[in-house]
Structure 1
């Protein structure tokens, strides 16, 4: 029961008596409680979480994102509590949309163009490739990479010998960047749709100014693996993920797409 969990008083007052369910979607180690109108995310205190809250507040009125209701920390327990409004809609990996690839790709393209329309001149967070490679190196040197979760061709006989070999390749093959406002994890579960249009963007921990091809790459991979059954239990045999490029009106830059998919293997 909620009453048995130790929350900061402000958070507890806002959610007392409300029913909730636990959401274990995604790879995050956070505990997520889903209420009818709120979402409460509980995780270890980290500077990145402060940046997330700053970005969410900056995005209010710019994009359909959750609103920060309260943000509290329990220093003794080493935990932070983020209470935000709950965005309605179905994940774009829902069977309804996966069964309608042209409609889905059109909606994803519209969502991505909406992100790109955000004025980045005063964006409080700019994520450089130096930043990402520095964090990747920390993860590699501290043995934090789960190679079993990688693409089948990333490591092994036809790929890189190990995460360090991949990191060194990434450091030596940096692409030219095209800065835009980026979601940072533009994958189907993070894009919500309702009544035939984008209703919300969630999981905003990596938002900020970044390369436009990062979101394109991760969206393409997400489409591909939601269609081929790698993620989820159903195979959509008639789903061509390259419809996304057609809807977006761009020619795929496969060098950049592959680079960012490989970079994400280290996170």
Structure 2
């Protein structure tokens, strides 16, 4: 655990959140602002990001004293990410926490997926995390303190049909984060990963979720945001949201393959993204396709 653990929020630290204009990123930025941090949110479109920052600052007004700015950011572009962090530090001060949250989740079978979409998912969900971690860790190691918090997914531990490339990226993020955590131990820099289950955002709209799974694992952006802020305070290397999902991960990991497949089929888990509500997902998927 780095020296940053448990101290950063109390000192009014500077936090940068990618994908911060909506969903988990927005709620996370709001939670940090209410905790007294100065926050920079980055997202693709400049104007909506600036509007989200202004709204976050207003909503955090009574609960915190942090400053909030919104900046354009494409995490798949190296220059864009570097400029985002440079502007964050120029306007708010030395960065103490980076939350790599930006992500996209197209649904559909892999053989039907446009190769450009495959590259975009990997570029945003994996390369963006690696790039951000490197840019932030370079700063943090030289200062002897800092915290990289990467947002993965339950899909980083389970193979869900219908989101194969997304699973590939999230599995890689889990492995990358855990390895980087070990590399930087003792440097004063914390590296953590947060694994949300099914979060009620536009990414998951239309998912074919059995009632029992929804009851056990569905969470909201605010739940994830609370876990991220707590991770910043404690330096915990891995957190699942909700916490009870950790037990499910352990059980599934020790089951024989055939038993696990039978369980997935009988519980409906394998249909969550393989058989979604296509009409409900149409708007989100159209936005993703327009972006490539």
TM-score (norm 1): 0.27
TM-score (norm 2): 0.25
